[in-house]
Structure 1
Amino acid sequence: MAGKPLPNSIDSANPAIRAAFERCRQIESFLMAEAAIDAKKVEEELMDLRVASYFLLYAPSDEGKQWAASSIMSAVEDDKQVAAFGQFIRKYYIRSFKQAKGRTPFISRHPSPSFDEAQREIVANLDQAPQNHTDAKMKALVRDNHRCMLSGAYDAQSYLGMKMHISGARVEETHCAHIFDESTNDFTTAKVVIAKKEYAANVWTIMRYMGYPDVLTELKGSSIHRLGNVLTLTATLHRVFEKLQFCLDATGNPNEYNVMAAPGVMSEFETVGLASPAKVTLSNACGLEPPSPTYLAIHAACYRIAHLSGAADWYARIDAGGDAGCNATIADESMFAIVLMDRLERLPEVVYAS
């Protein structure tokens, strides 16, 4: 069964967090006993219980952990409401960082006489916030010295356009990868009720309860393309990033991060000359805004919770089913229903009860 069992104990001085964790451990023991009889029956509930539990332990803020403890302990009359809280976190936090996203807009890869002129125009307008994906990509390239922030590979268009000739240089197509995806600006008016408390069903609700109310204002509308929300990555690393298969963990030094990757993607990291774990310092050329430590911390916490709980594998199965056109057989008809429900829930203004 996917996901890691909860540890036997935690090191926390907060009595509310300790009490909530013990409650989660008790519910997990019950569900594990049920799983020994029929694993499929409790698979999703056990995963969501672990999402709630690991969110309690690894939410990126003390306020988020306190919210988790309060939500877990408020459902005193119904253990299933603890899993319902985990499901809320899974569907509107984890899913917002792990979803099939649109391709990066195409930009011509061929050098032209206007390349230098275009670069001068970009540099002349660096003080203006990017207004769209293409603008964000071009300004991020200037900030990132025309290279992938992790592997150091030169952007192919820039390398050709600037007529670089660097011995042994790695040259690849690069993408503009958003930390918070552009789709998070699609709001829903749907509501979710957990332990008699009503929440708006979107990622911004979770950001607010985690103590990040300003993130919505910072990323609203075209501000989703601000440089603090984007990374220049090779096409390979962008694909892995949007699947929530690696994260950047802050070391405590300015703009310095450890690259933490899931074991299954090590081969893809090796193809771009990047080991894991690896330490990188994100560029900040021309005094431009670097990737936001806050956004990356929120993303890193999501990565950790998703992989420990099994939610990352769960959504990988769902996305594989979706990519296959939901061609379910009798043996996997339950997954067909889950894939269909996931797609419906991601439509604007639509929410379905579990």
Structure 2
Amino acid sequence: MAQQASLEGLLDFSAPEALAASQRAQAARTFHMIVDYFRQEEVAAGSSPKYSRFLLVRYTYNFSLSEPSQDIFLRAFFESMNFNIAVGYDPDFTKDADSLRQGVVAFADFLFDNFFLPLRASSKHTPQPSPAHLSVIQRVQGPHENIPTLERISSLRRACLVRDRSRCVISSTFDATEAVARLREDGDNAKDDNGNHLMGELFESLEVAHILPHSLTQANDCGELSDSKKAALKILNMFDINVSRLIDGVNIDRAYNAITLTHTIRRYFGDFLVFFTSVSGQEHTYKIESFLPKGVVPALPVTRALYLTEDRSIDPPSPRLLAIHRAISHILHLSGAGAAIDKILKDMDDIGTSAAGTTALGQIVALKLGGWCGNPIRQ
């Protein structure tokens, strides 16, 4: 095997021509052989870590939503390992185990630091990839520019409330502000948009929840996206090719990237602990589940048909974006990366007190440099 090269300047997340079927099958076989070998080694050691880099890499591939997206992943993986995907490679673990292990770990760390950590941290923080990383990613995907987003949260919330009929799409809780207005206007005869009486219901203030975080395309003070955010958008295409164009610029704040939720459920959804699974054959219908302990969200699991406006003047939540949110939820849970990120974010909150010497300090600083520490979105 060739000496493992640095990831700097190697990761390729573009959309070149698709792999041939035989090439894809061989690449997938080699990929699983490498990753599974080190995962089995990890388990055999008797102290399997709560967070497994090898599972993170495996599940990121497994939850890619199409063959073209899997091709992007496989090309990036093998380029980072300094292998020519067109030639093929049969790993020799007796000779190359150490360098192979280091290569997979480095690839996992790149995905963790530049995608999963930023998205999970959302409006808080994220690491910044080097210019060399970014140049390779851009080389593979072409000159597509990501236009900085504008502040459109207030109008987005109003649109989602209209589309979702002033109810949380998960718990069906009615919006408190709208309830007060209708009860003042119509008294005991006040009704919801379906003609049901409101009197006797419990109400809560509802919020707009982005399916993919608003901060993902939030510009800096110069009106530009950081290299870190550009890289995260490129990596996003591994899940569904060219999906980043759906959320470019102001599109991040369009109704198809948002749903109406209660404050508590919004927190869980934003943490990728609540997810939507499309019901086959039923348009805009989802089974909604969570990775939370039973009873934390009493409404779950539940199957909901999402409301649509009669004239379709307000876009429904995008099935593509909900599928990506679901994929990220599963990867974070199954690999243990979600718990590892929680620890980093807790350390970030503790900086200046007991965690001054935390091993996550470098990641925390990188998160801030990446521009993920902006002010939280206010409803």
Provide TM-score, normalisation by structure 2.
0.68
- Structure 2 segments unaligned to the other structure (5+ residues): 1-23, 84-95, 125-149, 184-189, 191-196, 220-224, 373-379
Corresponding residue for residue 309 of structure 1: 335
Q: CA deviation at 1:73?
A: 4.1
Deviates more, 1:91-100 or 1:309-318: 91-100
Instruction: Give the Cα–Cα distance (whole angstroms) in 2 for the partners of residues 254 and 350 of structure 1.
Output: 37
The answer on 1:327 being equivalent to 2:353 is yes
Instruction: Give the Cα–Cα distance (whole angstroms) in 2 for the partners of residues 235 and 160 of structure 1.
Output: 18
Query: Could you tell me which of 16, 19, 29 is aligned with 1:18?
Result: 29
The answer on 1:174 being equivalent to 2:206 is yes
Give CA-to-partner distance per residue, 1:76-100, whole Å, 9 cap, x none.
5632222222222223332343125
Q: What letter is aligned with 2:182?
A: M
Deviates more, 1:87-96 or 1:308-317: 87-96
Q: CA deviation at 1:144?
A: 0.5
Corresponding residue for residue 47 of structure 1: 52
Instruction: Give the Cα–Cα distance (whole angstroms) in 2 for the partners of residues 341 and 156 of structure 1.
Output: 43
Corresponding residue for residue 111 of structure 2: 89
Q: CA deviation at 1:317?
A: 1.6
Instruction: Give the Cα–Cα distance (whole angstroms) in 2 for the partners of residues 33 and 201 of structure 1.
Output: 38
Looking at both structures, which has the greater relative contact order when contacts are Cα pairs under 8 Å and sequence separation is at least 6? 2
Instruction: Give the Cα–Cα distance (whole angstroms) in 1 for the partners of residues 69 and 235 of structure 2.
Output: 9
- Structure 1 segments unaligned to the other structure (5+ residues): 1-12, 103-129, 191-199
Corresponding residue for residue 306 of structure 2: 282
Q: CA deviation at 1:68?
A: 3.0
Instruction: Give the Cα–Cα distance (whole angstroms) in 2 for the partners of residues 337 and 285 of structure 1.
Output: 50
Matches within 5 A, 1:1-354: 14-33=25-44, 36=47, 43=49, 47-74=52-79, 75=81, 78-79=99-100, 80-99=102-121, 101=123, 132-163=152-183, 164=190, 166-185=198-217, 186=219, 187-189=225-227, 202-213=231-242, 215-252=243-280, 253-264=282-293, 266-270=294-298, 274-276=299-301, 278-286=302-310, 287=312, 288-325=314-351, 327-328=353-354, 333=357, 336-338=358-360, 340-349=361-370
Q: What letter is aligned with 2:181?
A: G
Give CA-to-partner distance per residue, 1:34-80, whole Å, 9 cap, x none.
564xx7xxx59x62221111112122222232333344444156322
Q: CA deviation at 1:211?
A: 4.4
Secondary structure, aligned partner of 1:51: helix
Q: What letter is aligned with 1:284?
A: L
Contact 1:101 1:242 in 2 (8 A): no
Corresponding residue for residue 9 of structure 2: none
Q: What letter is aligned with 1:86?
A: A
Q: What RMSD in Å do the two structures reach over aligned CA positions?
A: 2.8
Report the CA distance shift for 1:201/1:343 in structure 2 as closer, same or farther (over 3 A).
Answer: farther
Instruction: Give the Cα–Cα distance (whole angstroms) in 2 for the partners of residues 211 and 149 of structure 1.
Output: 25
Secondary structure, aligned partner of 1:279: strand
Q: CA deviation at 1:133?
A: 0.4
Report the CA distance shift for 1:171/1:303 in structure 2 as closer, same or farther (over 3 A).
Answer: same
Secondary structure, aligned partner of 1:152: coil
Bigger share in helix: 1
Instruction: Give the Cα–Cα distance (whole angstroms) in 2 for the partners of residues 348 and 162 of structure 1.
Output: 46
Contact 1:52 1:68 in 2 (8 A): no
Contact 1:145 1:285 in 2 (8 A): no
Contact 1:71 1:82 in 2 (8 A): no
Contact 1:17 1:56 in 2 (8 A): no
Report the CA distance shift for 1:316/1:144 in structure 2 as closer, same or farther (over 3 A).
Answer: same
Report the CA distance shift for 1:242/1:84 in structure 2 as closer, same or farther (over 3 A).
Answer: same
Q: What letter is aligned with 1:85?
A: F
Secondary structure, aligned partner of 1:205: helix
Q: CA deviation at 1:243?
A: 1.3
Report the CA distance shift for 1:65/1:341 in structure 2 as closer, same or farther (over 3 A).
Answer: same
